[in-house]
Chain A
Amino acid sequence: MVGPFVPAVLVAAFVAQLSSGAAMLQRVKADTSVSVEKVRPGEPITLSVQVTPDRKIRVFAPGSKDYTPVFIAIGPNRDFSFGKPKYPIPSRESVPGTKKKVLLYKDKFTLAQTITIDPKAARGRMLRITGTLHYQACDDRSVFAQSAMPVSWTVEIQ
């Protein structure tokens, strides 16, 4: 015979296990935005992520050989197609452990990804687009392991 509290205890234990996963240490902050909040099927919109590195943190940019450059990964979706991503111009700087200059973002920067809503997409609903911001960062002493954080945007298809 089992008391009424046992299932509750088991569920609580389950929730505790789920929440015990160590969160990945983040060294940047990311704010998402969309060019327009309401869009019609067939129209393009731009998804943006403004990345703000923490103090003394720099982020590897595309073209930085040997390191993982920052990028946004968005899974395929029938409701839209992808355009080309846009990256700001990085600066070339020294990195700990090498004398070569590497392409880096040291200040706040914005990544932009254009998508075009499928002409046959159903109207009158909210479309939530989820993705992941991948990046590798360094400071003046260390190069940190690659990190990732979830990002999302919501637009209304009208």
Chain B
Amino acid sequence: MKLKPIVASTLAIAVATLPVAFASGRQAATITLTGTARKEAKRPYPNYSVRARLVADGSIAASVPLDGTAGFSIPNLQPSSYLLELINQDAKVVCTEGPIAFAKNTDRISINCGRDRSQVLLLLAAAGAAGITAGIVTAGDASPSR
């Protein structure tokens, strides 16, 4: 059997695009969220768990315990926006991360209650500087009354 190149090309394109057409009729691929809560959880880490709450309706999509290194992996989630909640052993929410729209597998998520340590240090430094200035001003104001 001999096929002209154009026929072969057409066949190749058709075969290559068919799975896409089939896939569109199937359920959307799921995603896995992976990360750590080391900055907020305390040892023993497995007493804590991370919960993914679906922003759309507030339902709990999944929750997993932290592993021994404070890491977590939440598989089989539908791509959507999630609020990640860190839960302690008393079932209390320690802190939250997000909401974040996840469209694909995501790793290196770090639950840190929305605080960036460098920003906190910067804020402390700024506050310290402001305090010193205020002290100087106060001292200045106070002197005439004495």
Q: Show the binding face of A for B, using Cβ within 8 Å.
A: 1-2, 4, 6-7, 10-11, 13-14, 17-18, 21-22, 24-25, 66-68, 96-99, 141-148
Query: In the complex the two chains form, is A10's CB within 8 Å of B15's CB?
Result: yes
A138 (CB) vs chain B CBs: closest residue:
B63
Instruction: Say whether, besides A18-B19, A144-B62, A24 and B51 are in contact (CB < 8 Å).
Output: no
With a cutoff of 8 Å between Cβ atoms, the chain B residues found around residue A14 in the complex are 15-16, 18-19
Query: In the complex the two chains form, is B75's CB within 8 Å of A142's CB?
Result: no
**B11 contacts A by Cβ under 8 Å:** yes
With a cutoff of 8 Å between Cβ atoms, the chain B residues found around residue A66 in the complex are 58-60
Instruction: Say whether chain B's binding surface is mostly helix, strand, loop, or mixed.
Output: mixed
Query: In the complex the two chains form, is B77's CB within 8 Å of A143's CB?
Result: no
A126–chain B nearest beta-carbon distance, Å: 24
0/1 per residue, B49-73, Cβ < 8 Å to A?
A: 1011000001111111100000000
Query: In the complex the two chains form, is B64's CB within 8 Å of A142's CB?
Result: yes
B46–chain A nearest beta-carbon distance, Å: 9
**B87 contacts A by Cβ under 8 Å:** yes
Bound-complex Cα distance A24 to B26 (A): 12
17 pairs, CB–CB < 8 Å, chain A vs chain B: A2-B8, A6-B8, A10-B12, A18-B22, A21-B23, A24-B76, A68-B59, A96-B63, A96-B65, A97-B49, A99-B90, A141-B64, A142-B64, A143-B60, A144-B76, A145-B74, A145-B76
Bound-complex Cα distance A97 to B52 (A): 11
Bound-complex Cα distance A147 to B15 (A): 30
Instruction: Say whether, besides A97-B87, A147-B76, A10 and B11 are in contact (CB < 8 Å).
Output: yes
Instruction: Say whether, besides A144-B76, A147-B76, A97 and B91 are in contact (CB < 8 Å).
Output: yes
Query: In the complex the two chains form, is A1's CB within 8 Å of B2's CB?
Result: yes
Bound-complex Cα distance A144 to B49 (A): 13
With a cutoff of 8 Å between Cβ atoms, the chain B residues found around residue A141 in the complex are 49, 64-65
0/1 per residue, B27-56, Cβ < 8 Å to A?
A: 101100000000000000000010110000
Bound-complex Cα distance A72 to B19 (A): 28
With a cutoff of 8 Å between Cβ atoms, the chain A residues found around residue B15 in the complex are 10-11, 13-14
**B144 contacts A by Cβ under 8 Å:** no
B97–chain A nearest beta-carbon distance, Å: 15
Bound-complex Cα distance A14 to B14 (A): 10
Q: Told that A18-B19, A97-B51 touch, could you supply 14 new A-B pairs with CB distance under 8 A? A: A1-B3, A1-B5, A2-B3, A4-B1, A10-B12, A14-B19, A22-B29, A67-B60, A96-B49, A97-B60, A97-B91, A143-B60, A143-B62, A145-B61
Bound-complex Cα distance A17 to B78 (A): 21
